[in-house]
């Protein structure tokens, strides 16, 4: 009797959110993403050979990309646990397979159910409110997919026009674009609070130290693991700041 009183009661809509039919409906989407990743990997490998890259360099690039993906994957996995508790396993699996942004998915789902006066996790959420949340997540993420589908082929032409035909500027423009993208994502974290600021600062310093060590001693494996190690060190630093001093702002 005490157990029934203490045990949390799952909202009624979660029966639909975790239904077998919904699991089956997400499988084609996930398979399409896996097929796409396989085709991209195969194309990149073949193009690398055509460009004259050696097998050693191709394997090094593959390992570097694989290792660098570990950090972001852990963050997505942690976010998926939160998303599973609110919209169910199938939708969380499908959405984070396609987009991978918990920072978008959770607010989109909250926006959907809020139109009916609910908040995620409420016991009284109806099936209609849940369906609206799923549609909000799906339709809200189509913009990124459409830009990727119809705009990617024009990116190289656009980059060439910016460089005005100067091939020496192309690596500079590409590096500047990457730095701008990282700076955009980090700017919100730096101002989010003390733990976030500490995490970014320590992670950045760790990355610089690892790259300096790799270049000065010509250690290839450090170059490959540098991003993953720096992200992990930054994560530990953020947790340490949160536990010891908390947030100052």
> What digits encode the pLDDT tens for the residues 188-235?
777 778 888 888 899 889 989 988 998 888 887 777 678 778 888 888
The string of pLDDT tens digits covering residues 58-116 is 888 888 788 777 766 776 777 777 778 778 889 888 888 877 676 678 788 888 888 88
In a domain, 227, yes or no: no
Total number of domains constituting the chain = 1
Q: Please tell me the distance from the alpha carbon of residue 190 to that of residue 10, in angstroms, as a whole number.
A: 36
- pTM for this predicted structure: 0.59
For residues 126 and 13, is the Cβ–Cβ distance under 8 A?
yes
In a domain, 100, yes or no: yes
In a domain, 56, yes or no: yes
- The residue segments making up the domain with residue 75 are 1-140
In a domain, 183, yes or no: no
In a domain, 195, yes or no: no
């Amino acid at each position: 009797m005490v157990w029934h009183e203490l045990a949390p009661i799952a909202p009624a809509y979660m029966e639909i959110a975790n239904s077998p039919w919904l699991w089956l409906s997400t499988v084609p989407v996930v398979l399409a993403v896996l097929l796409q990743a396989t085709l991209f990997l195969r194309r990149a490998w073949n193009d690398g050979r055509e460009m004259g890259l050696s097998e050693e360099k191709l394997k090094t690039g593959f390992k570097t990309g694989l290792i660098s993906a570990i950090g972001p994957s852990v963050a997505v996995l942690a976010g998926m646990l939160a998303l599973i508790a609110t919209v169910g396993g199938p939708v969380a699996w499908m959405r984070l397979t396609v987009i991978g942004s918990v920072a978008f998915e959770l607010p989109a789902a909250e926006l959907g159910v809020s139109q009916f006066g609910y908040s995620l996790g409420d016991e009284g959420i109806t099936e209609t409110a849940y369906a609206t949340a799923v549609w909000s997540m799906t339709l809200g993420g189509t913009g990124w997919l459409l830009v990727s589908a119809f705009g990617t082929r024009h990116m190289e032409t656009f980059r060439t026009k910016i460089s005005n035909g100067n091939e020496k500027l192309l690596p500079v423009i590409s590096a500047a674009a990457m730095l701008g993208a990282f700076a955009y994502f980090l700017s919100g974290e730096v101002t989010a609070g003390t733990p976030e600021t500490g995490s970014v600062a320590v992670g950045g310093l760790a990355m610089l130290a690892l790259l300096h060590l790799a270049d000065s001693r010509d250690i290839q494996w450090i170059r490959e693991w540098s991003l993953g190690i720096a992200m992990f060190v930054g994560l530990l630093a953020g947790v340490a700041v949160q536990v010891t001093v908390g947030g100052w702002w």
